[in-house]
Amino acid sequence: MQKDMKIWFIVCGWYYDRIDEFYAPLKELEEQNELVNVFWACHGEPTSYIKNNFEYKYFPDIGLSDTKYQQALDILDIDDNDIVFFMQDDLVIKDWNFIHECIERINEGFKIVGNGINYPDSFDPFKEPVDKYSHIENYKVADWFGNKRYIDFVKKENQHFFDKQQISCTVRLSFMCMRRGDLRSVGDFEAFFEIIDRPIGPPGNVSQSLLGYKITRKYGPQSFTYLSNTYQDSNYIFECARGK
């Protein structure tokens, strides 16, 4: 580990039900390592365990996990050289050596580390994201989500990245690891700041795709790496779907 590099864990607080296998070891890790910082960005009201053991902020109800990550980044002072783990609080942690493995890969030159491999996504930023919900029977498109193109969900200052159809690599946003400066250089997350009704998949998949597009566009598909070639799962972490 580089001497001046810190490690951050930004956890999206949503379910609060994995104390023994996740939150308690994370608390111990922070207490025993001065270079480790943990921050909970809470979608739901945090439990007393979170309030008593971690730095946190409650950002009620709007958006999805990447919204919480972005809200945390907006108030935290994280150096460009620091490595950040973005984690949903329902992850099943099987082996804490994922930390060492991810840091090694970042230091090898990869820009983003996901857990299980995720699907590539080909889309035209100037078309509507109907591919994200056309397969869902009776899906009700929210007013804020309908009749908009992919690029309409992108922050103005980041729209220059989106200039053509491309096949983008992606990671599931329940777990990812990046150096802060690399994420900052693509304008951070393209998160939604709306109340999102279930099913949350369509808007979640759009914001996932937008992030993947930018990183692929700037750094290339070779900048992505995964802890396994199995969807949602690795020897280190299992990524639940909506807490299950």
E strand intervals along 124-168: 166-168
Task: Walk across the sheet containing 55-58 and list its strands.
Answer: 55-58, 36-42, 7-13, 83-88, 175-179, 112-116, 224-228
HSE at residue 51, side-chain half, CA atoms within 13 A, is: 6
pLDDT for the residue numbered 186: 98
**Cα–Cα distance list, 78 to 1, 9, 184, 189 (Å):** 17, 11, 10, 15
pLDDT for the residue numbered 2: 53
Q: List domains and CATH numbers for the chain.
A: 7-238 (3.90.550)
HSE at residue 42, side-chain half, CA atoms within 13 A, is: 17
pLDDT for the residue numbered 202: 80
Q: How far apart are CA 144 and CA 212, in angstroms?
A: 22
Contact of 69 with 176, CB cutoff 8 Å: no
Could you tell me which of 73, 36, 48, 42 has the C-alpha nearest to residue 182? 73
Per-residue pLDDT of the chain (244 residues; tens, 9 = 90+): 455 799 999 999 999 999 999 999 999 999 999 999 999 999 999 999 999 999 999 998 899 999 999 999 999 999 999 999 999 999 999 999 999 999 999 999 999 999 999 999 999 999 998 878 877 787 888 888 889 999 999 999 999 999 999 999 999 999 999 999 999 999 999 999 988 877 666 888 899 999 999 999 999 999 999 999 999 999 999 998 754 5
Burial of 222 (0-12, 13-18, 19+ CB in 10 A): exposed
Could you tell me which of 129, 150, 151 has the C-alpha nearest to residue 141? 129
pLDDT for the residue numbered 204: 82
Q: How far apart are CA 186 and CA 85, in angstroms?
A: 17
Contact of 186 with 74, CB cutoff 8 Å: no
pLDDT for the residue numbered 171: 97
Contact of 160 with 213, CB cutoff 8 Å: no
Phi and psi for 209 in degrees, rounded to 5? -65, -40
Task: Using alpha carbons only, give the angle 72, 73, 79 rounded to the nearest 5 degrees.
Answer: 135
pLDDT for the residue numbered 8: 98
pLDDT for the residue numbered 199: 66
Q: How far apart are CA 215 and CA 169, in angstroms?
A: 8
Q: How far is CA 102 from the centre of its chain?
A: 15
Model pTM score: 0.95
